[in-house]
Amino acid sequence: MDRFPVVAREVIARCQSLAECTEESGFTTRPFLSEPMREVHTRLRDWMEQAGMTASIDAVGNVRGCYAARQPSAPRLFIGSHLDTVPRAGAYDGILGVVLGVALADLLNGRRLKFHIEVVGFSEEEGLRFGVPFIGSRTFIGDIDDELLGRRDAKGMTVTDAIRAFGLDPSRIGDAQAGNDALAYFEFHIEQGPVLEALGLPLGVVEGIAGQSRFSVVFEGQANHAGTTPMHLRRDALVGAAEWIGAVEKEARSTSGLVATVGRLEVEPGAGNVIPGVVRTTLDVRHADDAIRTAAIQRLHHHAGDIAARRGLSVSWKHLLDQASVTMDASFSRLLEHAVDASGYTVHRMTSGAGHDAMIVARRMPAVMLFLRSPGGISHHSRETVLPEDVEAALVTGMRFLEAMEARHD
């Protein structure tokens, strides 16, 4: 037990070290298979080998470290999260889960279990470079196709090109799949929200991950002179979009558990003395219940049409993403709850409003997740942080979880 505080501080130091691997000086910006990812791979492989693991990089750039079981034929527990970041990110989103997995292997100090532990650092989760998320974990479960491999980045390079340019072999993509010996997948992650801090709790057991839908929504009216066009003769796309944005907020506030966000506006022509003729917006809607999410989207679609018709506008929608909600495995989640309780912490069950690799991996094997408190509820920002005592709590709970898994296989 004396090692846990020391290892917790080391985990934090390692995350901060990896935050230095960036495309943008002074900030952490690390897209899929960018040059800074090479140094991330090097450091992680070194730490894995120091912990008694064999380490490798698969064909999509996932880092794989295996801590062998007593018997070669044993099943495999995967522990993982992602290595890429959003622009100007914090030091802990994704990477903390990978570093914690390596730390657990190190804490075993050579003791072999009845199952292999394989730590996976997924090369891509955020969708920054190619506009599509989860390339790493989709490859891991065998859900990668020609359409995804043919996606192009801002420079016109395809995913296949990026893999080859990084020195990897795209023809070996199939080898990156998890084998048939999978026991379960376990992911540590910062909460990225304020709930645990409001409750004064270090940890939360994730019951499920909310489904999410994303759209682009375009309102079109008529650009015209701001000084000569009377108010009653205007077809102002921005005023129509603004009214609809208010309806989005009202819908989310009136539906328990629903969150809805208009996160982007592009106004044309964008001059101070011209009535806006076109407004391009985005809509992000999430809820743990897919039926509630779908019904809310239908109402928002109806609101947009009514507003456009009343104001002499047209409105069009493009569906960008539809991700069903995912429930974590009930049996393994109970083991995790017992581990939290046995470690002396309050058990709190919660839903994740953010997407995670666990929701992809859950299609292939049982998945379970543990959240760590996010001080200030801040994430996707350079001020993102964690508390050393919360990292220690995660390590203690993680070891208890491994012990419970070991006992389950007696």
Confidence class of residue 2 from pLDDT cuts 50, 70 and 90? confident
Alpha-carbon gap, residue 132 to 375, rounded angstroms: 29
pLDDT per position as a tens digit, 132-156:
899 999 999 999 999 999 999 999 9
Q: At 311, which CATH number?
A: 3.30.70.360
Mean pLDDT, range 256-270, rounded to an integer: 95
If one counts the domains in the chain, the total is 2
Are 275 and 131 part of one and the same domain?
no
Confidence class of residue 1 from pLDDT cuts 50, 70 and 90? low
Residue 310 structural domain: 211-323
pLDDT per position as a tens digit, 66-109:
999 999 999 999 999 999 999 999 999 999 999 999 999 999 99
pLDDT per position as a tens digit, 32-67:
999 999 999 999 999 999 999 999 999 999 999 999
What is the model's pLDDT at position 410? 60
> What CA–CA distances, in Å, run from 64 to 207, 255, 366?
26, 42, 19
The DSSP result for 188-237, as a single string, is EEE--SSHHHHHT-SEEEEEEE-EEEEEEEEEE---EETTTS-GGG---H
Are 241 and 390 part of one and the same domain?
no
Computed from CA positions of residues 124, 130, 131, 135, in that sequence, does the dihedral angle turn out positive or negative?
negative
Q: Which residue among 323, 343, 375 closes a domain?
A: 323
Q: What is the CA radius of gyration of the chain?
A: 23
Are 329 and 309 part of one and the same domain?
no
Dig out the tokens for 80 from the structure: 């993982």
Are 311 and 353 part of one and the same domain?
no
Are 156 and 13 part of one and the same domain?
yes
Q: What is the mean pLDDT of the chain?
A: 96
Q: Is 162 helix (H, G, I), strand (E, B) or coil?
A: helix
Q: Which residue among 302, 323, 344 closes a domain?
A: 323
What is the model's pLDDT at position 256? 94
Q: Contact, 189 vs 197, CB < 8 A?
A: no
Confidence class of residue 30 from pLDDT cuts 50, 70 and 90? very high
Are 90 and 145 part of one and the same domain?
yes
Q: At 189, which CATH number?
A: 3.40.630.10
Are 288 and 188 part of one and the same domain?
no
Question: What is the CA angle 396-402-407, rounded to 5?
Answer: 125
Percent of the chain with pLDDT over 90: 97
Are 307 and 329 part of one and the same domain?
no
Q: Which residue among 265, 300, 323 closes a domain?
A: 323
Q: Is 54 helix (H, G, I), strand (E, B) or coil?
A: strand
Are 256 and 386 part of one and the same domain?
no
pLDDT per position as a tens digit, 182-194:
999 999 999 999 9
Mean pLDDT, range 330-350, rounded to an integer: 97
Are 157 and 256 part of one and the same domain?
no
Are 156 and 217 part of one and the same domain?
no
Alpha-carbon gap, residue 341 to 325, rounded angstroms: 27
Are 404 and 367 part of one and the same domain?
yes
